[in-house]
Amino acid sequence: MTIADAICWTVVLIVAIQTCFALTFAAILFRNKPTLDTDYTPLAAIVLCLRGADPFLRQCITRLLDQDYPDYELHVVVDSHQDPSQQILREFESNPRLSVSVLEHPAETCSLKCSSLVQAIGELDPSFEIIALCDADCVPHRTWLAELVVPLACSEVGATTGNRWYDPPDAAGASLLRYLWNVPASVNMILLKIAWGGSLAIRRRVLLETGLLEKWSYALCEDTMLYRVLRRHGYRQVFVPSVMMVNRESCTLGDLMKWIPRQLLTAKLYHPSWPATVGYGILSFIVPLLAAGLAFVGWMRSDMASIRMALLVFAGFELSNVLLVALCQWSVCRQLSNEEAKPRWFGFRREAKEFLPYDGLPSPLKVTTDTDFRQTNGKLAAAVRVTSLLMLPIWIVFAQLLAPLSFLRCFLITNITWRGIDYRIRGRKIKRGKYVAFGEPMKQTNSL
């Protein structure tokens, strides 16, 4: 067997593995939404931690205060009295479901978000049975909380979780790269049971029994450790496809290069399947390297057959990636749509000007009813315009090149910056740097 043959069969094997992962992801997304006709509706508290005013914060709070759930409250913990989010919160201060507090005495051994969660949950009345977590960049639908709570009726289920899916407003640049990086990352998170704290619910009894609040007091994040902790205490973690959250924010390349290593770092620190995450990541970028190596050897030997084989292998692999991205995209669109609105696909969607709610800024929430929201959410989940479809393989290559750089930085990283705060990482020990109040103004569409 020649080197070219060996590389070809290696690529075939890698494509087969990726296809199996994508098909499993699609099968999971094909599950029906939880049946909401149930008497299990215990008192629930939604906890929202704020540092800065996220682009869609107003819509997020509006939706959280309008959940189709009989008995719940929204508890918001704000980073400081001077935080930019305070201005938006004042618009909702008359709502009886809303409770706002300011973070006091943030611990130096964990992230500010973990400090906020520990404070908020510690202040809750004992009558609250369910704790739901939501991120400020999410805009949940009306039955979001109910869909998270339903699986918790089973005593073996300790926590339920969704995941994120990006719908970049600009089908190019860093925002598209984040979308393309997140597609395999979401597949990896769902199959390896990595929870996501942006859309999550957990029994309060489980929190106390497992000592999670104490663990969060010494952690960088609250979600990635859940699977290990719950399994150790005999509980299951359930993924709920219908509570995946579409994020329509944009980002810069600088922000992206900080964000990806931080996502990988949380898996490295807290999840038992970190080696599998590394292996899955290697699959995404090893083929272009093998193809480049084969082409280089062919060029050195003046072997045009090897060069043609390298180009064929590379083109075939990238084409398979386009098809797998399409499969995953279609699965998410199908899950987030309803009978009244099948999502338009791969850019066959309304122009952004039809969704300009204020100041000419694109938003998924120029809507008045939940049906409108479901329709808009589903249609806008088609993230890639047809005009950029031909460029998609090139952007996928760029996303693949980010993988080795991000893994390298994750392995070497000792300090990270998260929303203006520096954290020093020593093993699993976290040391927060000097605290400063968040002073950036509200951004139009960029992620904070």
Q: Both tokens of residue 294?
A: 């084969």
Q: What is the dihedral of CA 359, 363, 367, 373, to 10 degrees?
A: -170
Q: Both tokens of residue 25?
A: 């992801």
| pLDDT value at 448 more than 70 | no
pLDDT band at 1 (very low <50, low <70, confident <90, very high): low
pLDDT band at 190 (very low <50, low <70, confident <90, very high): very high
Strands of 115-167, DSSP E: 130-134, 157-161, 164-166
Q: What confidence score (pLDDT) does residue 379 get?
A: 45
What is the C-alpha to C-alpha distance for residues 375 and 386, in angstroms, rounded to an integer? 20
| pLDDT value at 447 more than 80 | no
Closest C-alpha to 401, from 320, 289, 293, 258? 289
Q: What confidence score (pLDDT) does residue 38 get?
A: 80
Q: What confidence score (pLDDT) does residue 3 get?
A: 73
Q: What confidence score (pLDDT) does residue 115 get?
A: 96
Residue 135 near residue 234 (C-beta atoms within 8 A): no
Computed over every residue of the chain, the mean pLDDT equals 85
Q: What angle, 0 to 180 degrees and rounded to 10, lies between the N-to-C axes of helices 173-191 and 392-412?
A: 70
Q: Which residue has the tokens 């149930």?
A: 38
Q: How many residues does the chain have?
A: 448
Q: What confidence score (pLDDT) does residue 356 get?
A: 32
Per-residue pLDDT tens over the stretch 304-338: 888 888 888 888 999 999 999 999 999 998 888 64
Q: Both tokens of residue 405?
A: 């750089």
Q: What angle, 0 to 180 degrees and rounded to 10, lies between the N-to-C axes of helices 3-29 and 304-336?
A: 0
State the DSSP string of 57-73. HHHHHHHHTT-S-SSEE
What is the C-alpha to C-alpha distance for residues 298 and 292, in angstroms, rounded to an integer? 10
What is the C-alpha to C-alpha distance for residues 275 and 16, in angstroms, rounded to an integer? 20
What is the C-alpha to C-alpha distance for residues 125 and 283, in angstroms, rounded to an integer? 48
What is the C-alpha to C-alpha distance for residues 241 and 325, in angstroms, rounded to an integer? 17
What is the C-alpha to C-alpha distance for residues 326 and 23, in angstroms, rounded to an integer? 11
| pLDDT value at 415 more than 90 | yes
Please state, for a pLDDT cut of 70, what percent of the chain lies above it: 85
Residue 53 near residue 85 (C-beta atoms within 8 A): yes
pLDDT band at 388 (very low <50, low <70, confident <90, very high): low
Q: How many CA atoms lie within 13 A of 144 on its CB side?
A: 32
How many Cβ atoms from other residues are within 10 Å of residue 277's Cβ? 20
Per-residue pLDDT tens over the stretch 34-71: 777 788 999 999 999 999 999 999 999 999 999 999 99
Q: What confidence score (pLDDT) does residue 6 get?
A: 82
pLDDT band at 355 (very low <50, low <70, confident <90, very high): very low
| Helices within 211-252 (DSSP H only) | 212-216, 226-232
Closest C-alpha to 320, from 83, 12, 5, 6? 12
Q: What confidence score (pLDDT) does residue 386 get?
A: 53
